[in-house]
Amino acid sequence: DALLGCHRSYRSRPTHGIGKFKYLLPKEVPKKRKEKVQMKEISAGTEYQYGDINIQMTSYDLCLVEHFAQYVHRLCNRLSIQVNESYAMPTKTNEVLFLEERGSKMQLDAVLTTHQRVVQIRGLSSTFAPILLETIQSNQPEGVHLLMKQHTEADFKSRLKSRPELEELLAEMS
Amino acid sequence: AESMTPGSVSPHALCYFSSCSSWLPQRVPLRGSHWQSSLLELRTSLPVRAQPKKKKKVDVKKEQAQKERMKKKLKKLEKAAPELIPIEDFITPLKYSDSNRVRSLPALSPEESERRVLLLKKWCLFKQKQDEAEKKAIKALVECQQEALKELRLESEELYQAAIQRDEGLFPFERDGPSYSPPLPGYDPPEGKCLDITKVYTQ
């Protein structure tokens, strides 16, 4: 009985691995775990190269700033400048009130939303930097404010949600 | 008039009983002066019906327990990864996705579609010329720069090295976009203020 129930096939025999079928099934993609938002290392750059630089474009008009950011990204790709990240900063909403001519009451004029896009580049050479700046400036659309600065940890932290409970506890502990 | 304080009931009773039954002489504490209301000495009190205060041990234990609780809370909060603030630009508001109404566009005449296609082609050509001009300009700039640096190197090595160094004063660089019209002379803006009503997200 035990001899009949045995399914062993020896490695040298041609019947080895006869019952296998998993290799025929399509490969299962491993479950994507939520990636922790971690700060990437900020490079300082050498004497002849700049480190991480943020090109921040701000405007009230969403379409303009979005298209300009896409243009800058493609330009950097074309000029083989390494682009680390290309992200959007949270939008800011402002209520503009103006004082009426006759009266002391503030009247609501408009609700403006400020949008900001950031393209982060690395390894910009010192000789090519002015050329890139010149190209970006000549294509700058109206109403879009351009700002280029070094990337810092504070810039990264401004993208994260604030945790008042954690800060309170830390203040209490120390 | 005798003052009856709750603490001093029993010695009075004792005093009374002792005066009645004289065969048990007992020592009775006398009051020092008429301001001293209780028969007990200063700063003493009879043991009240409660546990005597264990001052040192319980406090330290409580503090330690509290500290541990706080540390545990901190660990739990620190374990949770920080989240990015959601960007409102990329979230379509629900009111635009609920309704099913569809816009019906009018049919285009063949001349109109022909005109549009030709316009599109002209625009493509224009954009291509623009892009090529830009590429050519960048190439020319780079070439001129390289040539100039080469000549500089031949002239003096020191100046060449200084030219290659990165410019620290370049960043941060700020520039406002060009405006549609120059600023109007003598424009008096109305008084007002700006309120920041951005939604604050907390984790």
**pLDDT at A131 exceeding the cut of 50:** yes
pLDDT above 70 covers a percentage of chain B that reads: 74
* A47 reaches B (C-beta below 8 A): yes
Q: What is the number of helices (H) and of strands (E) in chain B? A: 5, 2
Cβ contact (<8 Å) for A129 and B170?
yes
The pLDDT of residue A37 is: 72
User: Chain A contact for B132, CB < 8 A?
Assistant: no
3-state secondary structure (DSSP) of residue B189: coil
* CA nearest to B189 within chain A: A98
Using 50, 70 and 90 to split pLDDT, how confident is the model at B126?
very high
Distance from CA of A28 to the nearest CA of B (A): 28
Closest residue, chain B, to A123 (C-alpha): B166
Q: By the CB < 8 Å criterion, does A117 face chain B? A: no
Helix residue ranges, H only, chain B: 9-20, 55-79, 95-98, 110-155, 157-164
Chain B residues closer than 8 Å to A159 by CB: 84-85
In 3D space, the residue among A52, A47, A70, A35 whose CA is nearest the CA of residue A144 turns out to be A70
- Taking the Cβ of residue B196 and every Cβ of chain A, the question of whether any pair is shorter than 8 Å is answered with yes
As a whole number of angstroms, the distance between CA B53 and CA A87 comes to 62
| Averaged pLDDT, B1-12 | 48
pLDDT, tens only, B181-190: 888 888 888 8
pTM for this model (two decimals): 0.71
Query: Is B76 part of the contact surface with chain A (CB cutoff 8 Å)?
Result: no
pLDDT at B146 over 60: yes
Whether B5 contacts B38, CB under 8 Å: yes
ipTM: 0.71
Residue B79: pLDDT band with limits 50, 70, 90: confident
Give the confidence band of B149 by pLDDT, cuts at 50, 70, 90: very high
Cβ–Cβ of A150/B178 closer than 8 Å?
A: no
- Please report the domains of chain A, with CATH numbers, ordered by start residue: 58-160 (3.30.70.600)
Total beta-carbon pairs less than 8 A apart between chain A and chain B: 154
Q: What is the mean pLDDT of residues A158-164?
A: 87
Q: Which residues of B touch A69 (CB under 8 A)?
A: none
